[in-house]
Structure 1
Amino acid sequence: MNAITAAQRFTPVYTPPVRALAPISTSSQSSTAAATPSTSVSLGQSQTTPVQTYSPNGLASTGQVRYIWEKDSGNKLGTAMTIAVQASSNGGRFAGIGAALLDQLAANDGRNISQSVLTFSGTEQPDATGLRLQQDSLRENATNKVTFNLTTASGATVTLSLASGEQGLAVSAEVQGGQLSADELKGLAGLADGFQSALNGLTQIPPRVQIGDLVKVDPALFTSLQLNASLDVAGETQTFDLRLDEQSRSLALQGPSGRVQLDLDASSTRLGSTAQRQAAIDNYLNQFDAAQKRGKGDENLMRQFKDAFTQLNAADNGKKAVNDRISLIDTGSRALLSGLADFSASISQTPGQSNPLHPEESDRFSYRASQSTSLKGSGLNRSVQQDQQAELKAAYHKGLNPLVDIQLGMDRESQNYSYHEINDQSSSSTRLAYDKGRLVEASATQHASQSERVRTYVKGELTEDVTTPASASQSRNLLGVLDDVMRRERNAREQTGASILDDALQSLRSRWQLQSTPSAIAA
């Protein structure tokens, strides 16, 4: 089978070079060209890629594309890089590389790793100095770069770097400030799939946030984690920044379609069960979906926002929920709180101008949500208040004929549309107060307001300008609700030994959770 046939069937057989490429001198170049081929690799990337033939030292001596390795590549990492370097997409270029690098570092007992594979075309034979310069340039100026940093509980730092560009692929792993223990090495290997999943998500088009396994890093082994990426997406730069430590968790994603930002206070009080936290997450996801639909936000950007929110908050599952400072709060009153760490989250879409005749009418979407929890008093006399807020600001154009896609131009015949401006706010505040250790107040206040201004144009003439407001507020005393639920819970435990608390609360949570629509509060 010739190379073109192999490419058409996409059935590559990859065999890494047997030996590393030593620095090339003038004499070695001559011997390389005359050497008998030792390895034949059929590449399946495209029809223009011929069979590559490698000399014993790893340099391809014939063909259009040649690969030169920094060191011996006869291992799992080398195999992954051999496949990845031939890919044309970011997803292919980083496929398997992150996991293989972490696995290799763990298998090498934490000894530093440096590997690169450089691509050359034509017949030019670079010298050793040229190779080193190209390796340095690839690592420092690559179009696509990823760094991954971990700090161990013992104080050592682990730094991984991946770089991809037209020049080839380069990776490195370095341990500083101490040696890794057997448990830490095992922990590194355990993070391999999570790291690779995060890379796979970031290199998709459109990108996905896939950090669920990565954020559940064992705090007994690793005290901080940081993942940074700068990737080329259709000619534009997409950046990603994830940071986790004992005090905070943050994620920032910036790309052509907009920006996502989340900041969680990992040290804040998390009062509640896993089921309670999931109920709070589900409620927020409903709010996010409603905001995206109402403001016509970008679906892919909102999906990344929702994934990031869900996965960062999921890091709390399985951890101790009760903060010692307010351990006096009983199970029932805790149920009125979200169970989530305090946070600030925002999504902002890149504004667009779809109407050339009225560029001031921008298409935009921004949404913010936050939670803060405050504690006052001490001992048996204390209070807890949890505040949640959300805000939506958006604007978009909509054609008057639902059967025809809107196409606005400079001519007035195309100017048949409505321009919508959305301005919504919502809030929820829950308060618990204790007097001599006895719960004396359990209350919740909810508020939601919505405003939509719609200007309608027919052949460029404003025919209607209408603003529609709506609002609702509700304050509730929840002491009686808690007493009733806890009475039923006690009875269930006495009769069956099982808890019915989460099920009993599920239908009641809308009375104190954040609600974005006035109709949900008025119900």
Structure 2
Amino acid sequence: MTTISPLNRDIGASASISRTPSPSASSQVSGAAGGGASTTVSLGAANQDGRQAKAVVWENRTRSTSSMLMARNFADQPLAGRLKGLGGELLKQVAYDGEDFSQSIQQAPGGGQADTYEMLVSPSQVSQHGMGDNRIGLTITTRSGVSVELSLDAGDNSIAVEAKSSGKLNEVERKALGKLSEAFQKAVDGLTEEPPRVDLAGLTQFDSGVLASVDLKGEIKLNPKETQRLEFHADSAKRTVSFSGPDGVAKIGVDLSQPASWGSKEQQAKALNRYLQQVDQAGMRGQGNAAMLSMFKDALVDMNSDYGTPALAPRDMLLTDRDRATTTGLADFTASITQTEVASNPAKSTEKDSFAYELSQKTSISGRSHMDLALSQQQQSHLKARYHAPVSATATLALGLEPQSQNYKYTMIDESASSTTSIAYDQGKLVKASLEMQASRSTRVLDYMFGKLKSDHTSPSGKTMTRDLLPTLDPADGGQSMGDYERAQMLAKVNDAIFLQSNPDAIPNERE
């Protein structure tokens, strides 16, 4: 008799276990190897809404909680919900027994009631692996070199799951996999939501002492013509994610190879909030797509969630509180988002709406010890955008081929910004501490009335500032006159001043 994994026995009121000599393909999964009496799983005669359950065909006789979830989701869920609970359950199953698993469920040919055992279990009719409209794959590689691959597929008439490993997992590895089950399901749920969203933070929190890397790939069909794709990778040295769809493409990479520059959790949260503000401001200025920018920000947060416990740096290379005041505390990263160009004006196809934004941070640390430490950190951003807007706040934009619809403003923005901090020590004494900020912006506005150009105005602006931080960080008395509270306030003020400013008018004067 086939047994059910003790990991998850309860599958809900719609399922029950029974013994019967003649299984019905519309409601049962065989658990016996031959004819005669067989162990079956009954899924009830009707769906939750009272409709008659569909006759289904299974790939094989293997029965598990994953199979029961597949049957329930196939009966009760639309396409977007057919992977509900399956990712997490499949990973739990692998973690529990360490065995490969493959199962598919498909509507029986013709949709009628099945009356033969061959129709109940027929691998040749259920080759649905990799064929679903929604496809998600997870690959986890252990430190010992074993690779575990999970795949989930969902289509209008089928669900397929598969788990396979390149070698035998030990108990510690299986436990580490099991801890990622909830995170995997959250990632699946986010991708299959409408509209899709990014939820990857949990997958970055794997046990790096046991697992070497985690990779996720997803392909979700939004409609007959459009697909959303996502690729994610995380290991002890880096994290990367990219996603693309009808609205555009976004990429984020985080470098974890230089933990000496990381700050406290509080400092990192503060820096991440400042970067998110920059994204919001760029989105407002460039009229970016709100849904895509939301996914981009979620991904930026997830990729910069807890970096884990880094290997201890040599004691004589540890940064002091004074050093950290000149950095963001975040790991270095690159991030970009590019929206699909849209020709929104039928009368002028060359006037396209577009939005492209880049954000990055790069840190350089050199020296054999804190005695000759040199540290430099640069933050950068670049925005290019074009969009149509009504001639006034009260007007409505309704572009068409008729001249009377051609009353609008066409705005083109090109701006860049950077903030660079540098410190240097000589024989243990701070000899350099500086902050350089730059921002430039060019805004060109074409004003049309009845399709005729009435004005073409370009507004350039820019500002550069260089500030010597040495008198503040290393005062003449060495800071001896400051109490702990005053010193902490001074360092916080310095740290507040280093963050990127994309608006030239927001850059302070050198002596402010």
TM-score by length of 1: 0.84
Which AA in structure 2 matches 1:464?
A: S
Identify if the C-alpha distance between structure 1 residues 66 and 325 changes in structure 2 by more than 3 Å, giving closer, same or farther.
farther
How far does residue 128 in structure 1 lie from its aligned partner after superposition? 7.0
How far does residue 486 in structure 1 lie from its aligned partner after superposition? 9.0
Structural mapping, 1:303-382, within 5 Å: 303-316=294-307, 318-320=308-310, 323-324=313-314, 327-379=317-369, 380-382=371-373
Could you say which residue in structure 2 is the equivalent of 1:245?
A: 235
Q: Which one of the candidate residues 41, 46, 57 is aligned to 2:45?
A: 41
Q: Which one of the candidate residues 382, 385, 390 is aligned to 1:391?
A: 382
RMSD: 3.0
How far does residue 166 in structure 1 lie from its aligned partner after superposition? 3.0
Q: Which one of the candidate residues 483, 504, 508 is aligned to 1:522?
A: 508
Identify if the C-alpha distance between structure 1 residues 37 and 298 changes in structure 2 by more than 3 Å, giving closer, same or farther.
closer
| Contact 1:350-1:364 at 8 Å conserved across structures | yes
Per mean C-alpha deviation after superposition, the further-off stretch among 478-487 and 344-353 is 478-487
Identify if the C-alpha distance between structure 1 residues 21 and 450 changes in structure 2 by more than 3 Å, giving closer, same or farther.
same
Identify if the C-alpha distance between structure 1 residues 17 and 450 changes in structure 2 by more than 3 Å, giving closer, same or farther.
farther
Q: Which one of the candidate residues 271, 283, 289 is aligned to 1:280?
A: 271
How far does residue 167 in structure 1 lie from its aligned partner after superposition? 3.6
Could you say which residue in structure 1 is the equivalent of 2:214?
A: 225
Could you say which residue in structure 1 is the equivalent of 2:124?
A: 133
Identify if the C-alpha distance between structure 1 residues 89 and 20 changes in structure 2 by more than 3 Å, giving closer, same or farther.
closer
Identify if the C-alpha distance between structure 1 residues 471 and 96 changes in structure 2 by more than 3 Å, giving closer, same or farther.
same
1:147 lines up with 2:147 in the alignment? no
Could you say which residue in structure 2 is the equivalent of 1:118?
A: 106
Q: 1:471-518 CA deviation, whole Å, 9 max, x = no partner?
A: 11111111233247994997338xxxxx983x6544443421111111
Q: 1:269-313 CA deviation, whole Å, 9 max, x = no partner?
A: 433211111111111001000000000000111111111111111
- Structure 2 CA distance, aligned partners of 1:284 and 1:517? 14
Structure whose residues are more often helix by fraction? 1
How far does residue 135 in structure 1 lie from its aligned partner after superposition? 2.6
Q: Which one of the candidate residues 148, 154, 157 is aligned to 1:158?
A: 148
Identify if the C-alpha distance between structure 1 residues 230 and 37 changes in structure 2 by more than 3 Å, giving closer, same or farther.
closer
- Structure 2 CA distance, aligned partners of 1:489 and 1:115? 72
- Structure 2 CA distance, aligned partners of 1:398 and 1:39? 56
| Contact 1:21-1:70 at 8 Å conserved across structures | no
The gaps in structure 1 that reach 5 residues or longer are 1-11, 53-64, 494-498
Q: 1:401-449 CA deviation, whole Å, 9 max, x = no partner?
A: 4334311011100000000001010001111111112221111101111
Q: Secondary structure at the match of 1:359?
A: coil
Identify if the C-alpha distance between structure 1 residues 401 and 517 changes in structure 2 by more than 3 Å, giving closer, same or farther.
closer
Q: 1:105-139 CA deviation, whole Å, 9 max, x = no partner?
A: 1222x111112212121357695799323332x10
| Contact 2:58-2:122 at 8 Å conserved across structures | no
1:267 lines up with 2:257 in the alignment? yes
Q: Which one of the candidate residues 201, 207, 210 is aligned to 1:212?
A: 201
How far does residue 209 in structure 1 lie from its aligned partner after superposition? 0.8
| Contact 1:455-1:466 at 8 Å conserved across structures | yes
| Contact 1:388-1:429 at 8 Å conserved across structures | yes
Which AA in structure 2 matches 1:403?
A: T
| Contact 2:57-2:119 at 8 Å conserved across structures | no
Identify if the C-alpha distance between structure 1 residues 310 and 448 changes in structure 2 by more than 3 Å, giving closer, same or farther.
same
- Structure 1 CA distance, aligned partners of 2:15 and 2:120? 27
| Contact 1:24-1:127 at 8 Å conserved across structures | no
Which AA in structure 2 matches 1:133?
A: S
| Contact 1:264-1:344 at 8 Å conserved across structures | yes
How far does residue 455 in structure 1 lie from its aligned partner after superposition? 0.5
- Structure 2 CA distance, aligned partners of 1:17 and 1:404? 66
| Contact 1:352-1:362 at 8 Å conserved across structures | yes
Q: Which one of the candidate residues 472, 482, 490 is aligned to 2:473?
A: 482
Fraction of identical pairs, as percent:
33
Which AA in structure 1 matches 2:169?
A: L
The gaps in structure 2 that reach 5 residues or longer are 1-11, 19-27
Q: 1:240-265 CA deviation, whole Å, 9 max, x = no partner?
A: 10001122110000111111100111
How far does residue 193 in structure 1 lie from its aligned partner after superposition? 0.8
Matched residues, number: 481
Q: 1:358-416 CA deviation, whole Å, 9 max, x = no partner?
A: 11110000100111122344343241211111000001000124334311011100000
- Structure 2 CA distance, aligned partners of 1:264 and 1:330? 23
TM-score by length of 2: 0.86
| Contact 2:243-2:250 at 8 Å conserved across structures | yes
Q: Secondary structure at the match of 1:83?
A: helix
- Structure 1 CA distance, aligned partners of 2:42 and 2:134? 33
- Structure 1 CA distance, aligned partners of 2:478 and 2:339? 45
Which AA in structure 2 matches 1:193?
A: E
Structural mapping, 1:426-505, within 5 Å: 426-483=417-474, 487=479, 491-492=483-484, 501=488, 505=491
How far does residue 314 in structure 1 lie from its aligned partner after superposition? 1.1
| Contact 1:248-1:267 at 8 Å conserved across structures | yes
| Contact 1:261-1:346 at 8 Å conserved across structures | yes
